[in-house]
Structure 1
Amino acid sequence: MVGYNDKMRTLLDTVIGKIADFEVKIDRFSVIKETMTKGYENFKFRQPYQQAMYNCTLILEEQTWPWDEELAALSNLEARNLEDFLPRMLAKTFIECYFAGNIEPSEAESVVQHIEGILFNSSTSVCKSLPPSQHLTKRIVKLERGLRYYYPAMCLNQQDENSSLLHYIQIHQDDLKQNVLLQLLAVVAKQPAFHQLRSVEQLGYIALLRQRK
């Protein structure tokens, strides 16, 4: 959440309170379901470079499902399914907080305790803490050193004559210092890479270099 410092607590209380006492409203469910359905159906019209990044995510990340499978699952869902699922989801609540900006450490700790109080100690909340043994870690497929992988895929929009090339380089395991250095490298190299690929070699209208998060 982002907002004025003196209003953050009020905003936080509102959001967390809605989560703790969440109620499925059939009319809103129908609107959101229709919006999501259109989003999935229009996926094939995304630009080729967006589809390339999506395919990269499917290949590398665990617990990721193709858009067409998600669309098929969504088409069969009704409000009652969400109502049945909600208690099971909230019974495995995991909280991870990150604070940045004009806030003291003691205030940040107080906010976390306040969130835990609303979610876990409220008489109306069904939230329960997820056991440590079930905490998930973000994992991606490790590419072996010295090997090259090639994955071709047709653009989903047959009317789109454009194409895209995504070159992915895997650097290191998740590490705070290494991540910061990699982010710094991406910032420094972004403009020279764009100039070389877009202006000098003119390889494509869209050319970018960035850190994959």
Structure 2
Amino acid sequence: MSGFAGFDSSAFPGLAATSWLKSNTNLRWCGFYLAPAPSHSGRDWMPHRAELVQQGWGLAPLYVGQQVVGKGSKLSSDPQGRTDGLQAAALMNSAGFAEGTYVYLDLENGPPFSPVQRGYVGSWVDTVAASGFGPGIYCSHGFAQEVHALRPAARIWAFKVLTADTHAVPGNNFPDSHPSGSGFTGAFIWQLAQNAVISSRSPQTLKVDLDSSVAPDPGR
């Protein structure tokens, strides 16, 4: 059993590249970065929802919120979860997403899933749901089960990759393994490759993360 191949890229690759990928590869959907968010300032995806839909893409909105490791804002708390949940909902509306669309909170850390982060995530999920959107969490497969136990209604986008090093992925038929193989059997999406260099239009290449989803439009 397979899923539906997709990609995500922090920087918008441009409409010419997305059009080429849609016509020449098995990629069905892409991540859509909401901004300005606490840990993602670039707004280059925001004006292009309608054009991407017109090209035939499914979309998975991503909100890069508070982090506990690495770069980005580190203000995790229950109250901040509510603040960020309201901002995520406002950005969804600003980008033109319909009520009921799922939006995924991006957590970049591996285990453990700390009490402070639990409070932040729970508050964010509750606020997004109360604002009329579907909550999802992008997180390590290493604590995806804990996130699911905290808020069972939230969709899980689990990352589990062989390497985070930049590497070429040739061809135009990208991995579409079912998300149940991600290390969390209930995953809706599996990020199965990071920093993959793929062709977008000869001779151009893109560096993206590769994913597979249960559905061709993971936001719906």
User: Quick check: TM above 0.5?
Assistant: no
* Structure number with bigger Rg: 1
Compute the TM-score of the two structures, normalised by the length of structure 1: 0.26
TM-score normalised by L of structure 2: 0.26
Higher helix proportion, which one? 1
